[in-house]
């Protein structure tokens, strides 16, 4: 499901054919997909891989009736040439392309893929460069530049922050992330996702629902139209509500859409336009 990326404002309720290669340009201590993103560990565990070709990927997407292909689980720019070839062929055949990315890419790479890239979920892992350098072995500024540039290129963007206890969960830092997103586009959906202990941070405790609730309210107070709470079962945390009338317009349970009350890209109740790619 496209909701698993997570993308909530891009073809909701549809399937996305997902591919990945081993490896990443980050080394996040908290990586949730470390078995394939950290290639040395993946090899030591005997991770199963299989070869494919761009044509085969597009054919499989069509066989499984997926309107989009997602380059996900690891960092798509690691296998950029393959992703580019897939995306170009897919676009020519009317299939959408999605990046799930850490955003740490060159301007040239983004410029090259932009004509064929329809949507992206970009991680904002923290709003502290020292966090990026120490915990992820990367830098923050290029990530923020990528988000701004993607919106300028009319690529649909949603952002995800994995909220980690004692590391990036302060009210100030969450407010800074939300304020940055508002400065780019207040309609960028922000997914605040619950951390669970993994990889090199197994000693950390699970995040509490209260912290995600705090992040949600911070995002709304800063002016974001859409804030979602993920990785933690809640009755309403992943639903979409109209910013105009406040009514429920997309109801989700897990990765599935249960109910949708929209007319094309507008609220089915008040007609307020809802940003995204809806059909």
Catalogue all structural domains in the chain, each as residue range(s) with its CATH number: 2-238 (3.20.20.70), 242-279 (no CATH)
pLDDT number for residue 68: 99
Residue 176 has which token pair?
Answer: 């800074």
> In tens digits, what is the pLDDT along the chain, a chain of 279 residues?
999 999 999 999 999 999 998 889 998 888 888 778 886 654 545 555 666 899 999 999 999 999 999 999 999 999 999 999 999 999 999 999 999 999 999 999 999 999 999 999 999 999 999 999 999 999 999 999 999 999 999 999 999 999 999 999 999 999 999 999 999 999 999 999 998 887 777 877 788 899 999 999 999 999 999 999 998 877 689 999 999 999 999 999 988 999 999 999 999 999 999 999 998
* Per-residue exposure over 146-172, b if at least 16 CB sit within 10 Å of its own CB, e if not: bbebbeeeebbbbbbbbbbeebbbeee
CB 114 within 8 A of CB 83: no
CB 91 within 8 A of CB 63: no
Cross-strand partners of 228 = 191
Residue 231 has which token pair?
Answer: 């990785």
Please give the C-alpha separations between residue 231 and each of 75, 200, 208, 228, 243, in angstroms, as whole numbers. 20, 19, 11, 10, 24
DSSP structure string for 176-213: HHHHHHHHH-TTS-EEEEE----TT-TTSPPPPHHHHH
User: What SS3 state is found at 264?
Assistant: coil
pLDDT number for residue 192: 98
Q: Is the peptide bond before 125 cis (omega within 30 degrees of 0)?
A: no
Residues 145 and 77: their CA atoms lie apart, in Å, by 16
- Give the residue from 142, 190, 156, 195 showing the smallest Cα distance to 278: 156
What is the DSSP pairing of strand 256-260 with strand 248-253? antiparallel
Q: Which residue has the tokens 């202990």?
A: 197
Instruction: Output phi, psi for 69, to 5 deg.
Output: -120, 130
CB 109 within 8 A of CB 77: yes
Residues 71 and 125: their CA atoms lie apart, in Å, by 19
């Amino acid at each position: 499901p496209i909701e698993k990326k997570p993308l909530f404002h891009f073809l909701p309720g549809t399937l996305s054919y997902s591919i990945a290669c081993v490896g990443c340009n980050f080394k996040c201590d908290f990586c949730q997909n470390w078995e394939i993103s950290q290639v040395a560990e993946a090899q030591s565990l005997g991770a199963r891989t299989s070869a494919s070709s761009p044509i085969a990927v597009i054919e499989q997407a069509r066989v499984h009736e997926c309107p989009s292909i997602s380059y996900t689980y690891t960092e798509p720019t690691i296998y950029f040439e393959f992703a580019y070839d897939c995306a170009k062929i897919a676009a020519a055949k009317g299939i959408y392309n999605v990046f799930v990315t850490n955003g740490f890419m060159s301007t040239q790479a983004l410029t090259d893929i932009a004509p064929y890239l329809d949507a992206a979920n970009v991680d904002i892992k923290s709003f502290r460069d020292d966090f990026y350098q120490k915990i992820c072995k990367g830098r923050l500024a290029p990530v923020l530049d990528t988000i701004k540039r993607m919106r300028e290129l009319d690529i649909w963007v949603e952002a995800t922050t994995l909220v980690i206890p004692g590391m990036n969960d302060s009210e100030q830092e969450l407010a800074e992330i939300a304020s940055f997103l508002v400065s780019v586009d207040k309609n960028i959906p922000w997914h605040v996702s619950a951390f669970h202990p993994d990889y090199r941070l197994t000693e950390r405790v699970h995040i509490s629902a209260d912290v995600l609730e705090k992040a949600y309210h911070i995002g709304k107070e800063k002016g974001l139209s859409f804030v979602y709470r993920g990785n933690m079962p809640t009755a309403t945390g992943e639903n979409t509500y109209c910013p105009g009338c406040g009514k429920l317009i997309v109801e989700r349970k897990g990765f599935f859409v249960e109910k949708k009350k929209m007319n094309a890209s507008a609220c089915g109740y008040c007609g307020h336009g809802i940003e995204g790619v809806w059909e």
